[in-house]
Structure 1
Amino acid sequence: MKAILRLLAVLVWGLMPGTASAEDQFKLLVIATPSTYHYEYIPVARESLEKLARLHSIGLTWTSDPAVFDGDLSPYAAVLFLNTPAEQLSATQRQRFEAYMRGGGNAMVVHRAAIVPPGAWPWYERLVGRSFVNHPKIQTGVVTVADKGFPASFGLPDRWIWSDEFYVTENPHRVAVNPVLEVDEASYDPTRIWPGQVGRRMGAHHPEAWYHRHEQGRVFVTLLGHQAEMYRDERYLQHLLGGIYWTATGLGQVGAKQR
């Protein structure tokens, strides 16, 4: 009899409010579509981001299929393009994503996802805020924090050693962005590139992460994130988490009015 009572007590306790899993703060759509040079990162990044989502009560939907853009995007606080060639989206899917941003949706762009062929999708180039030129071979350099008050820089030292491709970009659409991280070109060789290509320097200000607004939404871009093992690095994951947090909520920015 006592055993039955104990069992009933456990069942009743399990049905009480507040004993279930924490409610998601917001929903995040992550699209991670493999490309020629970016596919090994997918299982590593998925494991790490899903762990972060559980830890921080984020409802994360992970997909590699652009068909997700044929559906309703409005439940998502943000869409994260993770190394995904955005030009793979069909014309209809692009229109749906553009409508999502015009309706107040938000976007985060990581590494390869910042690249679209010139003229392939000018609207998306403006969303990214910069256009890709080329990149040197993977090298170790010094990444510097340009904005200590932005969540994607929290927990990072003012100068930290990082190895990446350090994309070179230009601004043909004259989009104003707010740099979060830069790379010190004196700490590596921007001209160390493949035969037949010409390496370029950007000078004293070489942004590798930034934020701005596009249409009615927030956009955060980080060009870092080429190697699969980076998605196990605590500093890099902290950088991504800060970007996700701000992109989805607009909160956490030190000294700025929240919008």
Structure 2
Amino acid sequence: MKRGIWGVMALAVAALPTMAAAEDQFRVLVIATPSTYHYEYIPVARDNLERVARLHSFALEWTSDPARFDGDLSGYAAILFLNTPPERLSASQRTRFEAYMRAGGNAMVVHRAAIVPKDEWPWFEKLVGRSFVNHPKVQTGVVTVADPGFPAAFGLPSRWIWSDEFYVTVNPYRIAIDPVLRVDESSYDPTLIWPGQVGHRMGPDHPEAWHHRYEQGRVFVTLLGHQADMYRDERYLQHMLGGLYWTATGRGQAANPAP
């Protein structure tokens, strides 16, 4: 009798890992291609974002090779361009990504991935929603929450001390975006830049993260994320998680965000 009871218990315990394993809610393709100033972040970002993905039951597929865009992209809820120079994609790869977005795909763009050389790929510039001008040296400033009802702002205080490059952008294509974060230019020096360059002020409307619709999909952009150690910062990871959750699912926005 005892042997029978223990046998049943052993079978139950053996089944626990299978029963406890959560099914992935969605899949995201992450392209993280090294560039001149952005390469050390990749192993740090991968370790920490994989931890976040496991905690929240979604799947990340990592690649550093744009050739992945030669294959089928339709199975991904979103594609995350993580500091990857978009100009690395070939003409055919660009066409496939454009088709993915027109079929209802979604994209998240982080930091360096928002920079497109002039006239290199206007379609992607429109996807980003702003065009890069330049950036001052890395400085500590105050990032402010523009939309507390958006998931990428949920883990952040209304005024957040952060150190980054604080990209300066313009809007040549007149794309409407919904700002999530701005930076307070009075909290750092936008003109502190390298010899031969001119630093620019954008004034009170200096977005550093935003979202909008493009083609048939959702797009979330954060210009924050220059240094590798940022991907160990829990608040930054919460910012990334909120942006990715909304991008992949379209969910999480507060119906009536606080003023």
TM-score bracket relative to the smaller structure:
over 0.9
Aligned partner of 2:204 in structure 1 is 204
How far residue 211 of structure 1 moved from its aligned partner, in angstroms, is: 0.2
Distance 1:168 1:208 in 2: 9
The equivalent residue for 2:217 is 217
Cα deviation digits, residues 69-88 of structure 1 (max 9, x gap): 11111111000000000110
Tell me the alpha carbon deviations over residues 201-249 of structure 1, each in whole angstroms, 9 at most, x when there is no partner.
0011100000000000000000000010000001100000000000000
- Map of 2:183 onto structure 1: 183
| Conservation of the 8 A alpha-carbon contact between 1:150 and 1:180 | yes
**For the aligned residues, what is the CA RMSD?**
1.7
Which ranges of structure 2 fall in alignment gaps of 5 or more residues?
none
Secondary structure of 2:19's partner?
A: coil
| Cα distance, 1:17–1:118 mapped onto 2, change above 3 Å | same
| Residues in 2 aligned to 1:84 and 1:21: alpha-carbon distance in whole angstroms | 32
Q: Distance in 1 between matches of 2:235 and 2:77?
A: 24
Aligned twin of 2:29: 29
User: Partners in 2 of 1:17 and 1:133 — Cα distance?
Assistant: 51
The equivalent of 1:19 in structure 2 is: 19
Seq. identity, %: 76
CA gap 1:3/1:35 in 2 versus in 1, 3 angstroms: farther
The AA in structure 2 aligned to 1:187 is S
Residue identity matched to 2:137: K
Distance in 1 separating the partners of 2:124 and 2:25 = 27
Distance 1:148 1:2, change over 3 A: same
Match of 1:46 in 2: 46
Pairing 1:154–2:154 present: yes
Measure how far apart 1:18 and its partner are. Answer: 6.3
For 1:181 and 1:228, how far apart are their aligned partners in 2?
A: 21
Query: What's 2:241 paired with?
Result: 241
Measured after TM superposition, the shift of residue 6 of structure 1 is 3.7
Instruction: Identify the residue that residue 98 of structure 1 maps to in structure 2.
Output: 98
Residue of structure 2 in register with 1:171 after alignment:
171
Partner amino acid, structure 1, of 2:185: E
Relative to structure 1, is the Cα distance of residues 3 and 196 closer, same or farther in structure 2, using a 3 angstrom cutoff? Answer: farther
Cross-structure match for 2:137: 137
Structure 1: which 5+ residue stretches go unaligned? none
Deviation of the 1:108 alpha carbon:
0.1
TM-score, scaled to structure 1: 0.95
1:102: how far off? 0.3
Aligned partner of 1:139: which letter?
Q
1:13–1:19 CA contact under 8 A, matched in 2: no
Q: 1:104 to 1:192 in 2, by over 3 A?
A: same
CA distance in 2, matches of 1:14, 1:133: 58
Match of 2:250 in 1: 250
Counterpart Cα distance in 1 of 2:254 and 2:129: 22
Farther-moved stretch of structure 1 (13-22 vs 197-206):
13-22
TM-score (norm 2): 0.95
CA–CA distance in structure 1, aligned partners of residues 14 and 218 of structure 2: 39
